Chain A
Amino acid sequence: MHTVGIGTEIRDFVVTNFLFGKGDDLSDEESLLDNGVIDSTGVLELVSYLQERFEMRVEDDEIVPANLDSIRNLVEFVGRKIGR
């Protein structure tokens, strides 16, 4: 899967799951926490989505904003995890 493909998929998930489909204003760099896109249970939703969709294991110490707090961070994190 291309990084571009991953990016689109992750964006779709975030927008559908956390923004009721209304994500036109969300940039790839924006912090999902600072902008209130996800709440505390949202992080867990995000992690279980990543694990299921990309068949990867997310360790507890990887659940940090540096990996998960923007679309760009997410794409890079997934890319590193699945070796792309």
Chain B
Amino acid sequence: MCGICGVLNTDLSPADAGMLGKMVAAIRHRGPDDCGVYTEGNVGLGHARLSIIDVAGGHQPMRSSDGDLAITFNGEIFNYIELREELEKRGHRFATSSDTEVILHQYEEDGEQCVRRFNGQWAFAIWDRRMRRLFLSRDRMGIRPLYYTQTRRGFLFASEMKALLAQPSVRAEFDLRALDQVFTFWTTIAPRTAFKGIWQLPPGCSAVVDERGVRVERYWSLSFPEEKHRTVEEERELACELRELLLDATRIRLRADVPVGCYLSGGIDSTVTTALAAHVAGDRLRSFSIAFADAEYDERRFQQEASEFLKTDHSSFCCSAADIAEIFPEVVRHAEQPVLRTAPAPMLLLSRLVRESGFKVVLTGEGADEVLGGYDIFKEAKIRRFWARDVSSRWRPLLLKRLYPYMDGLQRQSPAYLRHFFRVSEGDLGSPFFSHLPRWELTARLKLLLSEDVRNELRDYDAFEEMKAALPSEYWTWHPFHQAEYLEATGLLPGYILSSQGDRMAMAHGVEGRFPFLDHRVVDFAAKLPPNLKMKGLREKYLLKRACAEDVPASILKRTKQPYRAPDGKCFFGADAPEYVEQCLSHRAVRDGGVFDANAVGVLKAKFQSGRQVSTRDNMALVGVLSTQLLLNQFAGRQLDSCTQWGSELRFATSS
């Protein structure tokens, strides 16, 4: 796992190796073990390496033996061993034992279609000298990041935007539409990013870049074939099949020349991945978790239970509100987009613990909720839809109490209010976003905080329309449950969970996450399941629980899902609040930033300072404003000077 970057100067000016070095330096945290730059005329590739497979031989950028191809690659191709065997049979000769070289040979064999053969998590760029073009690709689910921009001189790409900003010609200018999207969906809609003119290659896409421009092509998309009714017998078989698939997905994700650890959150997903890893590895595993000083968020009891059951050597980091406040500016610097939750912060602290414990690879349970029907939002949509069929029913709304058992505020609501909150109108039922409307509409209220100028600028913009336009045509034919899964798996998952809370927080300390539930075979298998095998009645992840009942302790199998959350807005107030909070949220700072209404932010701040009860929306508002203000300070309008940690160890290579 690494950081990559590169340039293709379409004005044919020579690539500047020194400037590439600066780009590499900006993302050096992603690959502290090694780094290198390759230039050939108007093309340059840069690489910061975290050495995991073929530690000695896998230096990058790597060239093919004939010198026609050069690659810079971030990620893993987990089935590289099988692919290599096939390629060798076809006469390919390998100089290293790395997966990087397998990509080069597979590209020689299949051209742009090579990515369809890969099982993994990747972002890479191949310079094809014969074709005079760059080929870029990003994995199916968006696990590894890839950004690009175009300047007058040419095309630039990198794992993180801060590497692009190391080029003097690239400036970070806030994209207000992106802000509107984050303050509605919690993330931008790919290819949009927080900054104007900087794009992300969407998950499941490749791109070809040459002097004619950038052409993006989708090679994979999440799709839900028509569901079939399943018999009880078939259900048993499907459960076995799912477990076998997960076992194999885990097995190939343990391929590494360094030890692999596991995150153990105390929920079923990470317990399953850890259990399967222990099964495959056959020896004692090392596990890691986040604990919270605040009991409301803490899952230590279940983490310990899982660790004892699976006999892992466990370490945890106990996170306090003060820790979150202290580390938050770092969180935003790495996330490179506003966030509405502080939940990434503990993940940043956890990756530090992992790194300090000598590990650079961890397996996690990420993705199970999206692909196997775990989220409460799916449950909520199901209840609302069920109730909408008989709006006069008095007892149907009571099902709503079964939602969100961990949300005390909601549990204390009267039935009359619950009915009102989750009410369904005719119009809502026909909306493609039925499942997500309550969440998105609640979030969109945060836009009240925007300054008048920004609101004027956004007057004619409708984020929902942009989201609608991005939907595939077959979306409208899918079961509502699958529509909801699609929105989660293609929206929040890559846009926040795998990025702001995932890749960026882990890679800040050079730690690579691997996700068995996001193996595309598992994803495709799950997409074919009928919704009632994912959520049976209101039992979430039904088939997964059935498939892995023997692998996890009964208490964890039976416990109600607790989403991962961390203390939010209150972290930033009180006697020990860090100074930057006031520097970012003062009337003057907010006014000068121009994004938010300084008076409105003042009112919000006063509410937190008063110690009065605050709502979910207040928390999102506070964290959203603070992270945006931090982002403005750290990035906007600036060109980054991040030439730290970059010195004599950088290897230069040029074509000869």
List A residues at the B interface (Cβ < 8 Å): 16-17, 19-22, 33, 36, 38-45, 48, 60-61, 63-66, 69
Contact = CB atoms under 8 A, between A and B. Distances in A.
Given A33-B420, A60-B414, A63-B417, A41 B613 contact: yes
Nearest to A45: B613
B414 A21 contact: no
B421 A40 contact: yes
B409 A20 contact: no
18 contacts: A16-B603, A20-B449, A20-B597, A20-B600, A20-B601, A20-B604, A21-B600, A21-B603, A22-B600, A33-B417, A33-B421, A40-B413, A41-B614, A43-B413, A43-B417, A45-B613, A60-B414, A63-B414
B442 A39 contact: yes
Contacts of B614: 41
A17 B603 CA distance: 8
B610 to A, nearest CB: 10
B615 interface: yes
A21 B602 CA distance: 9
Please report whether the interface of chain B is mostly helix, strand, loop or mixed according to DSSP: helix
Contacts of B536: none
A38 to B, nearest CB: 8
B617 interface: yes
A20 B604 CA distance: 6
Contacts of A48: 613
A78 B128 CA distance: 75
Interface centre among A17, A33, A38, A64, by most chain B C-beta atoms within 10 angstroms, is A17
Interface string B216-236: 000000000000000000000
A40 B409 contact: yes
Classify chain B's interface size.
Answer: 20 to 34
Contacts of A40: 407, 409-410, 413, 417, 421, 615-616
A21 B413 CA distance: 25
B621 interface: yes
Interface string B239-250: 000000000000
Nearest to A37: B445
B449 A64 contact: no
B412 A36 contact: no
Interface string B591-609: 0000001011111100100
Given A22-B597, A44-B613, A64 B442 contact: no
Given A21-B600, A33-B421, A40-B410, A45 B612 contact: yes
Contacts of B294: none
A19 B416 contact: no
A44 B408 CA distance: 10
Given A20-B448, A36-B445, A44 B414 contact: no
A65 B417 contact: yes
A20 B442 contact: no
A59 to B, nearest CB: 10
Contacts of A16: 603, 607
A64 B417 contact: yes
B597 A63 contact: no
Contacts of B617: 39, 41-42
Interface centre among B416, B441, B449, by most chain A C-beta atoms within 10 angstroms, is B416
A60 B445 CA distance: 28
A45 B417 CA distance: 14
Contacts of A64: 414, 416-417
B615 A39 contact: yes
Smallest CB-CB A-B distances: 10 pairs = A20-B600, A41-B615, A41-B409, A21-B603, A64-B416, A63-B414, A20-B603, A33-B420, A40-B410, A45-B613
Nearest to B445: A36
Please report whether the interface of chain A is mostly helix, strand, loop or mixed according to DSSP: helix
B416 A63 contact: yes
A43 B418 CA distance: 11
Given A40-B409, A41-B616, A63-B414, A20 B421 contact: no
Nearest to B607: A17
Contacts of A60: 414
A64 B601 CA distance: 30
Nearest to A20: B600
Given A16-B603, A21-B600, 7 more contacts: A16-B607, A20-B621, A33-B417, A42-B617, A45-B613, A63-B417, A64-B416
Contacts of B612: 17, 45
Contacts of A44: 409, 412-413, 613
Nearest to B420: A33
A19 B448 contact: yes
Contacts of B607: 16-17
A77 B573 CA distance: 35
Contacts of B407: 40
A41 B445 CA distance: 15
Contacts of A33: 417, 420-421
Contact of A45 (B603, B615, B621): B615
Contacts of B410: 40-41
B635 to A, nearest CB: 25
Nearest to A31: B420
Contacts of B597: 20, 22
Contacts of A36: 441-442, 444-445
B296 to A, nearest CB: 14
A48 B610 CA distance: 15
Contacts of A17: 607, 612
Interface in B156-193: none
Contacts of B615: 38-42, 45
B604 A65 contact: no
A69 B602 CA distance: 26
A16 to B, nearest CB: 6
A19 B445 CA distance: 9
B565 to A, nearest CB: 14
Interface in B391-447: 407, 409-410, 412-414, 416-417, 420-421, 441-442, 444-445
A58 to B, nearest CB: 10
Nearest to B604: A20
Contacts of B621: 20
A66 B417 CA distance: 10
A40 B421 CA distance: 7
A1 B445 CA distance: 33
Contacts of B603: 16, 20-21
B205 to A, nearest CB: 35
Nearest to B418: A40
Interface string B612-656: 111111000100000000000000000000000000000000000
A17 B608 CA distance: 10
Contacts of B449: 20
